[in-house]
Amino acid sequence: MDRRKFLRAIAITGAAATVKASGGMDILAQTVNSTQTGKKVDIVAVMGGEPDVMFRRAITEMGGMGKFIKAGQKVVVKPNIGWDKTPELAGNTNPKLVTEVIRQCLSAGAKEVTVFDHTCDDWIKCYKNSGIEAAAKAAGAKVVPAHEESYYKEVSLPKGVKLKSAKIHEAIVNCDVWINLPILKHHGGANLTMSMKNYMGIIWDRRIFHRTDLQQCIADICTYTKKPVLNIVDAYRVVKTNGPQGRSTADVVNPKGLFISQDIVAVDTAAAKFFNQIREMPLEHVGHLANGQSLKLGTMDIDKLNIKRIKI
């Protein structure tokens, strides 16, 4: 696909077009206004490459990792490692992407990079079978567990509507900066997993979210004052049905996409619109987006943002 066609295809708002995803599936996508020359790039959307290649291109367009990570900082990279699934089943963030993000952080001068997730399945199996533990260690990161309550510290959430406090993993509490690295996928409860939903892997008690108001609590936890310096949504492989873990490769498509932004609501809105071209998922069905906008965490009005679209 040439650049002209891609600008019509990877799109996020406007008139519909069709792009052929690998695996033979047609994914409807939409168009956006052209990138505004000279202005700060708000979102980078990349399509068509391997996860590491797409990220290298995306972070370059954002100004380089050194813009977000400073020498001597303690960094946390927080992927989704929640499920005992291999990369082909797309239940977790792609390990190739995790590797490249860690390498970029260390190249920017990070003192250390820590990786963790509060998993749903057995943490040892999740870390191993996702491929993320081995990938992270090979890239030079420290991988830490998150399966015991003693690893978490109580924090106040004064801006939360229904969630006023939470226990957050000490790696996040004690780091200088962190990077939010979710995978885009269907979710039976929240409808979609993206950057905001990925916060549920930094807290101890997720049950309160489901008992109270899942969509509001997802937004509330994102009011925690230490916000990620980057939100990177892995859409290389996407679970379209039976999420959040998928049952087989029949639940997975391979659109080879990636979205990156500092605005957590905007990047999730872009990713949700992308998912809607794979399987119908109107934005109003992903209530935490509007809740996050109401809490001034970011904007859903992405047609007013400066978006850079790239086809590898």
Largest CA distance in the chain: 53
Give the side-chain half-sphere CA count within 13 A for 59: 26
Confidence of residue 6 (pLDDT cuts 50, 70, 90): very low
Residue 5 has pLDDT above 90, yes or no: no
Render the burial of 285-301: b for 16+ CB within 10 Å, e for the rest: ebbbbbbbbebebbbbe
Per DSSP, the three-state class of 21 is strand
Domain that holds residue 174: 67-251+260-305
pLDDT digits (tens, 9 = 90+) for 93-142: 999 999 999 999 999 999 999 999 999 999 999 999 999 999 999 999 99
Q: What is the pLDDT at residue 38?
A: 63
DSSP H or E segment with residue 43:
strand 43-47
**Domain presence at residue 53:** no
**Domain presence at residue 274:** yes
pLDDT digits (tens, 9 = 90+) for 46-99: 999 999 999 999 999 999 999 999 999 999 999 999 999 999 999 999 999 999
**Domain presence at residue 23:** no
**Domain presence at residue 50:** no
**Can you tell me the distance from the alpha carbon of 262 to that of 17, in angstroms, rounded to the nearest whole number?**
27
pTM: 0.90
Provide the domain count of the chain. 1
**Domain presence at residue 133:** yes
**Domain presence at residue 34:** no
